[in-house]
Amino acid sequence: MPLYHNDDQAMLKDSVAPFVAEQAPVSHLRKLRDSADATGFSRDLWAQFTEMGLPGMLVPEAHGGLGMGHMEAGIVLEEIGRNLTPSPFLSTSVGAVAALAKAGGTQAGRWLPAIASGEAIVALAIDEGAKHRPDRIATTATRAGNGFRLDGKKSFVLHGHVADMSIVAAKTDGGVTLFAVPKDAKGLTADARRLVDSSLASHVTLDGVEVDSDAVIGEVDAGGDILDALLAATRTGAAAEMVGVGQGAMDMTVTYLKERKQFGKLIGEFQGLQHRAAHLYGEMEVARATVMKAQQLLDEGSEGAKLMVSVAKAKAGRAANLAVREGVQMHGGIGMTDEYDIGLYMKRDRALAEYMGDVHYHIDQVARMNGY
Amino acid sequence: MSDLDAFRAEVRAWLEANCPAEMREPIREEGDVCWGGRNWVFKNDAQKQWLEACAAKGYTVPDWPKAYGGAGLTPEQTKIFKQEMKRIHARSPLDSFGIWMLGPALLQFGTEEQKVQYLNPIARGEIRWCQGYSEPGSGSDLVSLQTFGEDKGDHWVVNGSKIWTSYADQADWIFCLVRTDKANKYQGITFMLFDMASKGVTTKPILLISGNSPFCETFFDDVEVPKTQFIGEINRGWDVAKYLLGHEREMISGGGAGGDMISIGGAFAKAFGKNAAGELDDPILRAEMAAFDVDVFAYRAMGERFMDMWKTGRAHPASSNMMKYVGTELNKRRHELVMSGGGSEALEWDSEETKGGARARGWLRTKANSIEGGTSEVMLNVIAKRILDLPGA
């Protein structure tokens, strides 16, 4: 497979890009923020996403989805990133679907069609501290009656307060097990906090939450592979969204360089700024290629995917971070104002960089995978 | 089995039967690289045998048409061929400026007669070429070049000098930018080809900080060049030169910088030792090396995407400038880390254990990467103007 979008993918992009730009541009985010919206995204917009079949892109056709791949999901995520569109697409339609599809069984049958039809929002309850450390899960699941009793605290759970179901990673006797915990489960509380990018993420408490044994996603103690699938998909998706954020910031900045005059000249004429903009362009192109490679390897089910996913999250993290920092700096004073959009790009980048492992976490993973 | 699978099987069998074991070893010293040419002395029989086998099959230039010495492979087949070569760690049968630079320019701008005349010997490694671009007064600013060809009816008389002419002292022929119209800066340059054995051509190697002299000064003193030996149009050599520079950048960024782009950290774990967690026992260097590895794996993905897009005409024409910039800066960073990782051993300049200071010399050599073929600053200027469309000063 060549490393560019084929005709079908290019067509998808041609329909998704104008749709997101028209229906959910940055002003859409501002409106949600300024009205102190308590959901974190627009249900109306999600209904429009559903009309286009987007929530079920990765859902297998047998479960009512489109059976597409990460390359296609990445196209949507890049546009979401470029427009700073608040949406449960990444956690629900990418992360949760990857886990459920990998596991199969009862929970896949119950939730995948509901995701594809736009009815279900799913949250991913993985992290437990300020930093992403999925190998140190302390939440416990102990056998009780016909099922399990879950105890622990989760953090950085996007859409946790409104999700119809949360995928909870917990420690069991012989390993890690994933559970589908429905919204109304007794003992489950989600305390939503507004983040720097105006999104809402929850601290989730599981205080003796009782679930039946069929709440297990996949098999007991064998959640490691399913968790890996969830993480790989979500990390790659976050990287794709960051490419969109970085590209959006870079485009704004380059446009500004061509319009803004200082000392009687367009600032884009100054070589100092030209070189920095050109360097940024190179970094963004490399990041884009890397994310596409990770998507391609995931879609092929290749063994090399794990390495490239970490490379992509780290590289996209670095490149998008450069894009937003250069964006604010090159805009000068106006870049510091709330009224101007470039600062919002910096905020979203910060949140995505932290989600599912920051640059340092993934650089460390790359060292480990290479044996040092 | 699909056609491509069948092709892969065919290539695999051919390589198995024709690539000598000695040619599946990493390049260890300069003589391991086969440059060909009329004065070439093969290092061993295997090197000769490998070149001849590939040349006979068209595999020195797999994607060139068969009529010009290639194998006429499609882009997909070429990719498979390269993958299969890489799989057995096969050495390139022939390294050649003729293949990398002049060939693509001839395919684009040459007449049918010129293609047949020049491309076949290039494919067979019979003529070693050098490139006469830079001059003492014009490095990155090529259009300011002064070497002048005076019109004498059926020939030009060329006077002037070139600098940084790679391997000019070993080359058979030169492809050269010569000013043929002094009044017109851009449209006054002709792209000429001539024999380095012509009367009036002299070369002088330049000793570099690496202790090697891959580059020469080249002097032209009333050199007679027949009027038939030019490519493209007279006074429009800049078009050919620009096209060729795109390929040179591809070569420098893809081959020169990308060729050994593998994980760097693992190589030094032994020298440093590992801590109880199995990590390289210098946390700061480990972090730097891992960050570098991320950039290397990322750049490889970019290289693949660039080639896929370039071959199908999807790439922006100036994207080779971006590849050159990113690749050469990365290669310099690699060699800084190699020196850190090597410690005092890497400082040795002439010991046998260090293969004559290979690491130190290699490190110094890479400093030229961001100068030759257009400096990094020129690459950034081109990206800014041609891709980002930023206003000119």
Mutate to test the interface with A, among B297, B333, B378 (most CBs of A within 10 A): B297
Model confidence band, residue A1 (pLDDT cutoffs 50, 70, 90): confident
Q: Residues B100-115: pLDDT tens digits?
A: 999 999 999 999 999 9
Would an 8 Å CB–CB cutoff place A261 in contact with chain B?
no
In sequence order, what DSSP letters do the residues of B159-180 get, joined into one string? EEEEEEEETGGG-SEEEEEEE-
Domain co-membership, B222 together with B135: yes
Q: Which of B298, B309, B380 sits opposite A290 (nearest CB)?
A: B298
Per-residue pLDDT at B259: 46
**Residues pairing with A25 in the sheet:** none
Q: Is A366 in contact with B314 (Cβ distance < 8 A)?
A: no
- When pLDDT is averaged across residues A125-148 and rounded to a whole number, the result is 96
- The CATH number given to whatever domain includes residue A260 is 1.20.140.10
Would an 8 Å CB–CB cutoff place A10 in contact with chain B?
no
Q: Is the predicted ipTM greater than 0.90, yes or no?
A: yes
Domain boundary among A77, A99, A120: A120
Closest residue on chain A to B75 (Cα): A2
B1 pLDDT above the threshold of 70: no
Q: What does chain B come to in residues?
A: 393
Q: Residues B18-57: pLDDT tens digits?
A: 999 999 988 877 778 999 999 899 999 999 999 999 999 9
Would an 8 Å CB–CB cutoff place A311 in contact with chain B?
yes
Domain co-membership, B320 together with B366: yes
Q: Residues A231-243: pLDDT tens digits?
A: 999 999 999 999 9
Structural domain of A181: 124-221
Say which residues have a Cβ less than 8 Å from residue B339's Cβ, sequence separation at least 6.
Answer: B346, B359, B360, B363
Report residue A292: phi and psi, to 5°: -65, -40
Would an 8 Å CB–CB cutoff place A164 in contact with chain B?
no
Q: Which of the residue ranges A266-270, B182-186, B229-233 would you say has the lowest mean pLDDT?
A: B182-186
User: Left (φ > 0), alpha (ψ -120 to 50) or beta: where does A302 sit?
Assistant: beta
B116 domain residue, yes or no: no
Q: Residues A299-333: pLDDT tens digits?
A: 999 999 999 999 999 999 999 999 999 999 999 99
Domain boundary among B236, B270, B290: B236
Per-residue pLDDT at B393: 59
Mean pLDDT of chain A: 97
Q: Which residues of B touch A278 (CB under 8 A)?
A: 322, 325, 379-381, 383-384, 387-388
Q: Is A362 in contact with B287 (Cβ distance < 8 A)?
A: no
Model confidence band, residue B212 (pLDDT cutoffs 50, 70, 90): confident
Q: In A, residues 218-257, which contact B (CB 8 Å cutoff)?
A: 254, 257
Q: CB pairs under 8 A, 24+ apart, for B144-153?
A: B144/B185, B145/B177, B145/B179, B145/B189, B146/B179, B147/B176, B147/B177, B147/B178, B147/B179, B147/B220, B148/B178, B148/B179, B148/B180, B148/B182, B149/B178, B149/B179, B149/B180, B149/B190, B149/B192, B149/B225, B151/B180, B152/B224, B153/B227
Mutate to test the interface with A, among B140, B305, B306 (most CBs of A within 10 A): B305
Q: Is B294 in contact with A285 (Cβ distance < 8 A)?
A: no
Å between B323 CA and nearest CA of chain A: 8
B375 domain residue, yes or no: yes
Q: Which residues of B touch A285 (CB under 8 A)?
A: 302, 319, 322
- When pLDDT is averaged across residues B387-392 and rounded to a whole number, the result is 95
Domain boundary among A221, A252, A268: A221
Domain co-membership, A195 together with A236: no
B255 pLDDT above the threshold of 70: no
Q: How far is A242 from A229, CA to CA, in rounded Å?
A: 20
Q: Which residues of B touch A367 (CB under 8 A)?
A: 265, 279-280, 286-287, 289-290, 293
The maximal CA–CA distance of chain B, rounded, in angstroms, is 79
- Alpha carbon distances (Å) from B130 to B133, B146, B155, B315: 10, 19, 21, 28
Q: Residues A155-170: pLDDT tens digits?
A: 999 999 999 999 999 9
Domain co-membership, A275 together with A150: no
What is the Cβ-side half-sphere exposure of residue B363, based on CA atoms within 13 angstroms? Answer: 17
- The CATH number given to whatever domain includes residue A178 is 2.40.110.10
Which residue in this structure is represented by tokens 């995928």? Answer: A167
Query: Residue B230: helix, strand or coil by DSSP?
Result: strand
- Alpha carbon distances (Å) from A368 to A35, A131, B175, B301: 45, 18, 48, 20
> What pTM was estimated for this model as a whole?
0.89
Per-residue pLDDT at B42: 94
In sequence order, what DSSP letters do the residues of A13-56 get, joined into one string? HHHHHHHHHHHS-HHHHHHHHHTT-SSSS-HHHHHHHHHTTGGG
* Total domain count, chain B: 3
- The CATH number given to whatever domain includes residue B75 is 1.10.540
Tokens of A352: 């995505």
Å between A359 CA and nearest CA of chain B: 9
Q: Which of A274, A315, A371 sits opposite B390 (nearest CB)?
A: A274
User: Left (φ > 0), alpha (ψ -120 to 50) or beta: where does B26 sit?
Assistant: beta
Query: Residue A207: helix, strand or coil by DSSP?
Result: strand
Domain co-membership, B223 together with B147: yes
Domain co-membership, A298 together with A277: yes
Q: Residues B69-100: pLDDT tens digits?
A: 999 999 889 989 998 998 899 999 999 999 99
Share of chain A above pLDDT 90, in %: 99
Domain co-membership, A293 together with A158: no
- Alpha carbon distances (Å) from B222 to B149, B194, B199: 9, 13, 8
Per-residue pLDDT at B292: 96
- The CATH number given to whatever domain includes residue B180 is 2.40.110.10
* Total domain count, chain A: 3
DSSP code, position B91: P
- When pLDDT is averaged across residues A353-357 and rounded to a whole number, the result is 98
Amino acid at B217: E
A211 domain residue, yes or no: yes
Domain co-membership, B304 together with B223: no
Which residue in this structure is represented by tokens 């032994």? Answer: B270
Model confidence band, residue B257 (pLDDT cutoffs 50, 70, 90): very low
Could you report how far apart the first and last alpha carbons of chain B are, in Å?
Answer: 58
Q: Residues B104-162: pLDDT tens digits?
A: 999 999 999 999 999 999 999 999 999 999 998 887 777 889 999 999 999 999 999 99
A1 domain residue, yes or no: no
- When pLDDT is averaged across residues B6-17 and rounded to a whole number, the result is 95
Q: Residues A44-97: pLDDT tens digits?
A: 999 999 999 999 999 999 999 999 999 999 999 999 999 999 999 999 999 999
Structural domain of B193: 129-236
Would an 8 Å CB–CB cutoff place A315 in contact with chain B?
yes
Domain co-membership, B186 together with B223: yes
B170 pLDDT above the threshold of 90: yes
